[in-house]
Amino acid sequence: MTIGTTYPPELTTYTDSQTGRRVTQLTNSNAKDYHLYFYNPTVTPDNQYLIFISERTGISNLFRLDLNTGEIVQLTDAAPARADYFPFTYTPIHGVSACLPAIGAHEVFYFVGNTLFGVNYETLATRPLLQLPPDRRPSMLNADASGTTLVFATWDEARFAEWERRMVASEVRSDDQTFQQTTSTIIRYDTTTEQCDEILRLDHFWINHVLLHPTNRDLILFCHEYSSQPDRMWLLDASTGEYAPIPGQDADEWYEHEFWSKDGTRVCFHGGVENDKTIGFCGWYNITTNQSEKFYHCTPGRTYAHYNLSPDGKTMLTDGEGKPGCISQVHLQNNAQKFEPLCRHDSYKYDDDQRCHPHPSFTPDGTQVIFTSNRTGTSNIYLTDWS
């Protein structure tokens, strides 16, 4: 299949068994279909197209789905380069790099191997942008609000390739400290001027989840992935080169999935208490006041969760903490979380892989929620109303 190949609508609508809400299954292929990683918008700014990754062509490619008609159009015809996002995807994947793309200004940016591309999701015109050295492995892309500046991390290719080979061969899996052996960099790329800068390099430090402030291209959030230290979330000021962990990350707490609020005033997160797996929290760190606010819950038997912040800046969205197996609104009051299930997702039953995580994400207008589920036996994409 080639760029521009069109697929008829695959839409089906059903009533959720628990809440009675209407849910629309947007894709229905036998391959893995999943939306962009949830801290990246997966719907274009005009609310017209859902951008997603599918392996329906035999390898990983990008597609757009018209949210008005359901029509699907292939955006890329990728070369069969390594595309797995090790260690977060566990099986060999080829084509467009899994979980890495980001939407910019009329383009979707993505890696095939070590080459960064942009494809116009309206005209389907493709342009190569950047070639990374062969000794570096790229991580997830992220764009600012204008969609013109990108950031991402790179890791040691040789180290990750060897660890990945051992894992695929069912040898002993690397522990968390193994990954800290890598040298990490943060790259900033201007898609208009094509200027590329390495703005941070750290040895023996695994950088991931690099996120650009919505309007300040010098302010960058990143995480110390798989760290055993209380320093998961970091802020970098690229104008001065100064970087430091966000204060208030206590040694008896863990944090995950940090992201900027839409207005850029807060770093949002979720986490829990190290010595009590039933206690979790979500909240944010205010970059102006240097204060954090947390909202707690207690969920015996908790499985996993990913949080997102609604456009009103007051309500959270999650896929597991309050009611495992559900997409839920999270109402925040009196330092506590109150969960209101929207619908079941019933994912995570068949394999433990990023491509089947629900990763709930809002449409730009904030009226609908996109999520992925493998409830039918393979990953597909779903939509439900927020209110």
- Bridge partners (DSSP) listed for residue 221: 211, 235
Alpha carbon distance 5, 42 (integer Å):
20
Q: What is the mean pLDDT of residues 198-218?
A: 98
Could you give the 3-state DSSP secondary structure of residue 215?
A: coil
Q: pLDDT tier at 55 (50, 70, 90 boundaries)?
A: very high
The pLDDT value given to residue 323: 62
Query: What's the pLDDT tens digit per position in 86-98?
Result: 999 988 899 999 9
Residue type, 20: G
Could you give the 3-state DSSP secondary structure of residue 174?
A: coil
The pLDDT value given to residue 228: 81
Q: pLDDT tier at 73 (50, 70, 90 boundaries)?
A: very high
The pLDDT value given to residue 315: 97
Q: pLDDT tier at 271 (50, 70, 90 boundaries)?
A: very high
What percent of the chain clears pLDDT 70, i.e. is strictly above it?
A: 95
Average pLDDT, the chain: 93
Q: What is the mean pLDDT of residues 100-125?
A: 97
Alpha carbon distance 33, 63 (integer Å):
10
Q: pLDDT tier at 78 (50, 70, 90 boundaries)?
A: very high
The pLDDT value given to residue 112: 98
Q: Specify the pTM.
A: 0.96
pLDDT at 302 over 60: no
Residue type, 261: S
Query: What's the pLDDT tens digit per position in 283-301?
Result: 999 999 999 999 999 876 5
- Residue 203's Cβ-count burial label (10 Å; 0-12, 13-18, 19+) is exposed
Strands 242-245 and 253-260, sheet pairing: unpaired
Could you give the 3-state DSSP secondary structure of residue 157?
A: helix
Alpha carbon distance 234, 207 (integer Å):
10
Q: pLDDT tier at 321 (50, 70, 90 boundaries)?
A: low
For residue 37, the Cα-to-chain-centroid distance in whole angstroms is 2
What percent of the chain clears pLDDT 90, i.e. is strictly above it?
A: 84
- Bridge partners (DSSP) listed for residue 377: none
- Give the side-chain half-sphere CA count within 13 A for 36: 27
